[in-house]
Structure 1
Amino acid sequence: MKHRSAGPLGPLPAFLGQYVAAEGHVPDGIDVVPFFTPAGDKMWLVCDYALARRVLTDKRFSRAEAVTAHAPKLNDAQPVPNSMMSMDGAEHSRLRRVVTKAFTTGRATAMAPAIERLADRHLDAMAASGPGTDLIEGLAAPLPLAVLCSLLGVPPEDGTRFRDWVEVLFDISASTPQEKARRRLELIDYMADLIDTKRRRPEDDLLTSMIGAHEQGELSMGELLTMGLTLLMAGYETVVGQLGLSVHALLSDPAGYADLRDRPEELAPTVEELLRLTPSTPISFPRVAVEPVPLGSVTVQAGEGVIVSLLHGNRDGRTFTEPEGLDPQGHDAAHLTFGHGVHRCLGAPLARLQVRIVLERLVGRFPTLRLASGPEAVVWKDGLGTRGLSRLLVEW
């Protein structure tokens, strides 16, 4: 399977979509361009792979400054100041150390048998109800939800309670500020109650471990609450999106799906290509320059905001020889889907594992899987900072 299409990109945030051609291609030669955010502030959008890596590692571009009151805003749903994603330097490292051990490649690998059992259970239900189903509702949404509940220690019966809440962190225009505020409060109340329950009845899970870190003075109560919410939300919506996008990309080219079935040795590199070409997170969180910084064709002044287009960086023809084609032979450069530098996504090994298991199980159990016909078969989510599908009807 070489140089195949990754399928349509679907809706993108307006400020990002204006730099993507109608047929889904990203233009060559764009490095740094100005744009106005949905909040009405001017920022810089970085579309060049090499410059993106610079921004994501250069200490002159601060995440902490980006969440201050005076900073330019992408929208009103950015992480709070005491979130690990909103900190720089030693403060960021302090919080990251508390949860790093739970997200290593080895820890993710140890979870593989349990994830395989979960996937098989959902595929059994698909097979029993077939020969067609909504793959989002039947697999892509419940699988990462169950994985997160197991990792954090969320009671399975509580899992569906926050499915309508988790888009808050990534919401750009899908709901009103009042609705977002209400949902945030509900999430906070839920996490506070869960922490109190775990404190009284500790178990072998990540949330109990974080409570122990709080009791030893490594986390404040506010940081504990925020970290629990961040892991719960970020680890769900992005993986749901990535699973749906990956399957959709493969099924958009039936020959590609057949090739993967016939060449199982190409599964791992194909997963990396799908992550590169169709990331569920198309942009980074904003950063703010703390001093003037020359960046490509512009100079970013102190106080100005910068966002990296991970989507453009992943398809940069100056870095990737087949920038917009799925090539399981791979590339020399690493994709930016999980970020780069100290803020690189902690959950990358777990997300990658779930995509691999889902694709492996699908091609094994449903060799004739295909997209259902009709315009209602594929419904894209819109108004979010993440990309994804709300419906993916398939047949076999």
Structure 2
Amino acid sequence: MNTPVPYPFDNAAGLDLADAYRVAQRTPGLLRVQLPYGEPAWLVTRHHEARAVLADARFSRADAERDAPRTTPVSPLGLVATDPPRHTRLRRPAARAFTARRAESLRPRVREISEDAIRRMIAEGAPADLVEHVALPVPITVICELLGVPAADRDRFRGWSDTVLSTSGATPQDFMAATGALKAYMGDLLDQRRAEPADDLMTALLRARDEDAPDDRASRDELVELCIAILLGGYETTASQLANFTWTLLTERPDAFVELAEHPERARDWVEELLRYVPLAASASLPRYALADVEVGGVTVRAGEPVLVAIGAANRDALRFPRPDTLDPARDTGAHLAFGHGIHHCAGAALGRVELQEGLSALARLLPGLRTAGDATWKSAAFLRGPATLPVRW
């Protein structure tokens, strides 16, 4: 078996896709990689193979009694690390409560939150940090309002999220403490919603769960994990991508903001292309274990072996997306994998799209002269890549 190569490849500074991914895509077979923690894994980088693995029930996401390949000392918890039937119990109430229609109904409120954040930044004066003033507060406000989290607790949530999603800046003890605090808080909030229902997602999740047959219902602990997954996924990913997309357009396609100001309906096309174009994750993660021998890319992955899917590389596969390193909002982006594929496709994808569309549109509309005011600084110890600070002026 090939000697594993050190992984991850990408540099934390910037959003470039490492050349090693392109080499892997041109090389027959799969690449054997070694992450900072855990056993070696096979790395999938080509689009058709990535899509196949993500949809193949012969690959399991459930916690295995193995030393899972990972970038952190402790593996993440929750919905992403489950298989049916547990995954089905967890996802069913989310699918019923977290619908595209619900996300679309939130669009006016998301627009208002985005505009309010931008106006506060304008009032502070230029130069200003777009991450601190817009990219972080908009999604945390949206997701906390959606879940029913009191406004006074949002800074606590941000701190817990930053710790849980840190790859090297937090100790295992910090990770467990933050996870424990999140579980306790979410559990208390669920109990409050059970006693006093409200017009929020947490109440909707409880009602959807109660509609299931008793043997199929998610437990209280499972609903707590689901709410944490919604919080982390709905906050951190959108915050990172709002900053990433703004940085990318300002440095590569500043004309896009002019277009978005004049034609806000184009935000949908720009967001889909940016979702494809920007490699968000610092590395492939969330290993899938083969339940039987499976051939992938001409390699037989033996039962019990882990496979990692590099979404960012797959979305830049020239065989699926011609001229993959060119930003083209007119291209067919229907097969991009930014929100995953198969049973683990992101349940909050519709809301994420609304937030990114409205965030970029509001920036274009309210700040027609938006431009960078210096170099960005970059997160160096996180699962998700992006600017830690993004100085802008207008």
TM normalised by structure 2 equals 0.89
Is the 8 Å Cα contact of residues 372 and 393 (structure 1) preserved in structure 2?
yes
* 2:76 pairs with 1:79: yes
Q: Match of 2:106, SS? A: helix
Q: Return 24-33 or 132-141, whichever deviates more.
A: 24-33
* 2:298 pairs with 1:297: yes
CA offsets per residue over residues 307-331 of structure 1, 9 Å max, x none?
1000000000111112011001112
CA offsets per residue over residues 341-394 of structure 1, 9 Å max, x none?
111001111111111101111111111100112xxx411112222222211110
2:353 counterpart letter in structure 1? R
Distance in structure 1 (CA, Å) of the matches to 2:344 and 2:370: 37
* 2:248 pairs with 1:249: yes
Q: What residue ranges of structure 2 are gaps of 5+ in the alignment?
A: 1-5
Per the TM alignment, residue 21 of structure 1 is displaced from its structure 2 partner at its CA by: 6.5
Distance in structure 2 (CA, Å) of the matches to 1:213 and 1:307: 33
Q: Match of 2:382, SS? A: coil
2:383 corresponds to which residue?
Answer: 385
Per the alignment, do residues 388 and 21 of structure 1 end up closer, same or farther by CA in structure 2, a change over 3 Å counting?
closer
2:342 corresponds to which residue?
Answer: 341
1:3 corresponds to which residue?
Answer: none
Distance in structure 2 (CA, Å) of the matches to 1:24 and 1:51: 17
* 2:139 pairs with 1:144: yes
Is the 8 Å Cα contact of residues 32 and 48 (structure 1) preserved in structure 2?
no
2:82 counterpart letter in structure 1? M
Per the alignment, do residues 209 and 21 of structure 1 end up closer, same or farther by CA in structure 2, a change over 3 Å counting?
closer
Distance in structure 1 (CA, Å) of the matches to 2:315 and 2:85: 29
Is the 8 Å Cα contact of residues 319 and 333 (structure 1) preserved in structure 2?
no
Per the alignment, do residues 260 and 204 of structure 1 end up closer, same or farther by CA in structure 2, a change over 3 Å counting?
closer
List aligned pairs for 1:1-396, cutoff 5 A: 14-17=7-10, 26-27=22-23, 28-30=25-27, 32-64=30-62, 67-74=63-70, 75-80=72-77, 83-212=78-207, 217=214, 218-253=217-252, 254-281=254-281, 283-331=284-332, 333-373=334-374, 377-396=375-394
Per the alignment, do residues 348 and 215 of structure 1 end up closer, same or farther by CA in structure 2, a change over 3 Å counting?
closer
Is the 8 Å Cα contact of residues 284 and 310 (structure 1) preserved in structure 2?
no
1:388 counterpart letter in structure 2? G
Per the alignment, do residues 371 and 204 of structure 1 end up closer, same or farther by CA in structure 2, a change over 3 Å counting?
same
Count of residue pairs brought into register by the alignment: 376
Is the 8 Å Cα contact of residues 321 and 331 (structure 1) preserved in structure 2?
no
Per the alignment, do residues 203 and 380 of structure 1 end up closer, same or farther by CA in structure 2, a change over 3 Å counting?
same
Is the 8 Å Cα contact of residues 78 and 170 (structure 1) preserved in structure 2?
no
Q: Return 144-153 or 191-200, whichever deviates more.
A: 191-200
Is the 8 Å Cα contact of residues 100 and 351 (structure 2) preserved in structure 1?
yes
CA offsets per residue over residues 126-178 of structure 1, 9 Å max, x none?
22122321111101111111111111111111111111111344332221112
Distance in structure 1 (CA, Å) of the matches to 2:22 and 2:334: 18
TM normalised by structure 1 equals 0.88
Distance in structure 2 (CA, Å) of the matches to 1:185 and 1:378: 33
Is the 8 Å Cα contact of residues 9 and 18 (structure 2) preserved in structure 1?
no
Per the alignment, do residues 237 and 73 of structure 1 end up closer, same or farther by CA in structure 2, a change over 3 Å counting?
same
Is the 8 Å Cα contact of residues 34 and 69 (structure 2) preserved in structure 1?
no
Distance in structure 2 (CA, Å) of the matches to 1:287 and 1:242: 25
Identical-residue share of aligned pairs (%): 37
Q: What residue ranges of structure 1 are gaps of 5+ in the alignment?
A: 1-12
Per the alignment, do residues 257 and 14 of structure 1 end up closer, same or farther by CA in structure 2, a change over 3 Å counting?
farther
Is the 8 Å Cα contact of residues 94 and 205 (structure 2) preserved in structure 1?
yes
Distance in structure 2 (CA, Å) of the matches to 1:154 and 1:234: 15
Per the TM alignment, residue 270 of structure 1 is displaced from its structure 2 partner at its CA by: 1.1
Q: Match of 1:45, SS? A: strand
Per the alignment, do residues 23 and 298 of structure 1 end up closer, same or farther by CA in structure 2, a change over 3 Å counting?
closer
